Amino acid sequence: MLETESVLARTGGRPLRRIVYTAEEIAGRVREMGEEIAAGIPEHEDLLVLGLLKGSFIFVSDLVREIARPLQVDFLVAASYGAGTVSSGDVRLLYDPSADLEGRHVIIAEDIVDSGTTLNRLIPLLEKRRPRSLEVCALLHKHIAADLVREPRWVGFDAPQEFLIGYGLDHSEDFRNLPFIGSL
């Protein structure tokens, strides 16, 4: 258990099991991912980064600043989890991007791929809008999804099968503001 004062001050007294990725490790990997993405999309073709809210809000804001080429950013909100830590298997679109996907390279930026349900429901829905390409960039991948309709093209870290919080990831809406990723 991690019970240092600086951690407890941020978690409101709740100890963490451990810090899984430090802020520095995340920044280094996000920088590499930005470079990989910039190199992977043809230079003069339209790129739209579509962040999956809420969990990806910090990841997207860091990632897009590491992609040194023109792009646009939009978000979509798909609610798949309730207050608990278990997937309900039900994905609802609460906010649908206003951006047109047709003919553009679209990268869905996801904080973490767990069961894969969110992506499996979203990808067919977004494919109908005829993007030029549709790829997934996931900061974390637990590699437990049995049948992903599309493997993420870019993955930040192969994550342990623990419940992770911080850097945008929440537990019942708490802990999103931790600068590191920890295990509850």
Residues of the shown chain interacting with Mg ion in the complex, contacts defined by CB under 5 A:
55
Among positions 157, 164, 167, 182, the unique one binding ligand IMP when judged by CB under 6 A: 164
- Token couple for 65: 């600043």
Burial of 33 (0-12, 13-18, 19+ CB in 10 A): buried
Residue 176 CB, shortest distance to Mg ion, in Å, is 9
Asked about 114 being catalytic, the answer comes back as: yes
Beta strands at 181-183 and 18-21: parallel, antiparallel or unpaired: antiparallel
| 26 part of the interface to ligand IMP, by CB under 6 A | no
The one segment of 10-18, 35-43, 94-102, 111-119 that binds ligand IMP by CB under 6 A:
111-119
> Which one from 74, 96, 114, 174 is the annotated catalytic residue?
114
Residue 17 CB, shortest distance to Mg ion, in Å, is 18
Tell me, residue by residue from 61 to 90, as one string, x for binding to ligand IMP by CB under 6 A and - for no binding.
Answer: -------------------xx-----x---
Q: Which residue ranges make up the site for ligand IMP (CB under 6 A)? A: 52, 55, 80-81, 87, 110-118, 163-165, 169
